[in-house]
Amino acid sequence: MALTLDAAVLAPPEEIAISSGEFAKFRRLIHEIAGISLSDAKKVLLVGRLSRRVKHYGYRSFSEYYRHVTDGHDPGERQLMVDLLTTNETYFFREEKHFDFLRWRVLPAHPRGRPFDAWSAASSTGEESYTTAMVLADHFGLDAQWSVFGSDISLSVLHTAESGHYPMDKMRGLPPEYQRKYCLRGVRSQEGTFMIDRRLRLHTRFAQINLNAELPDIGSFDVIFLRNVMIYFDAATKAKVVARLARKLRRGGHLVIGHAETLHGVNNELLPVQPTIYRKP
């Protein structure tokens, strides 16, 4: 006798099946916490990422684990759940045209002598932040006043970002010149890894920020990257998040979003410069 899709999702033997009702509870929870809207297609992803946690506690169902992360007694596990459901792959110089725009359009027009500040608002493991830092270092030099702030809701990815330590295969996409100038290859016990140069890391800082909540006092910025994030938000959440970030953008500053995203119908304050790039007048 076959199960209907509404009854359950059949998982591999090492995973635990989740009912539609259980998935709905987690979908509401992650939307409440992070503003992320999980489609039905993400049911398999949720099962794959949380099954180990369910089994870690010896629970027999996702309902038991749901009670665990919502009863308020284990904020660490609740944060780990958020980390598992919000972590996405990234890499150096992703969507390279955005960094070309920064290099050739934004930086030459920046007033000489004024500090330049950038924010990677969903920095994940830090590749976007360090890519930005490399472009700024090339333009201003390592002794000038510029900074890159990276934030994410996930503490685990921020730990990697702060360390600036990556496996060697993460070097893909990094121009050889930048590999030589800003990366230190590991030797002996660190062989097969590389570290972002300390001089570059001195210009960066990272902190946990939930874009679905009011933003703390983090200063203002000349450019903000919010790439490949809004695809996970519903329309109302997109509007609120962009409005919050726009308040942190300096006059004349730019907001950069992902190639699959748009601010059409989301925000009227920021003016389009070219597809995926907007300016605060």
- The residues annotated with a catalytic role in the active site are 49, 152
Beta bridge partners of 223: 118, 254
What sign results for the dihedral spanned by CA atoms 51, 227, 123, 177? positive
Farthest CA pair distance, the chain: 73
The pair phi, psi for residue 37, each rounded to 5°, is -100, 110
Q: Rounded distance, CA 255 to CA 272, Å?
A: 9
CB atoms within 10 A of CB 67: 12
90 contact partners, CB below 8 Å, separation of at least 6: 124, 125, 127, 128
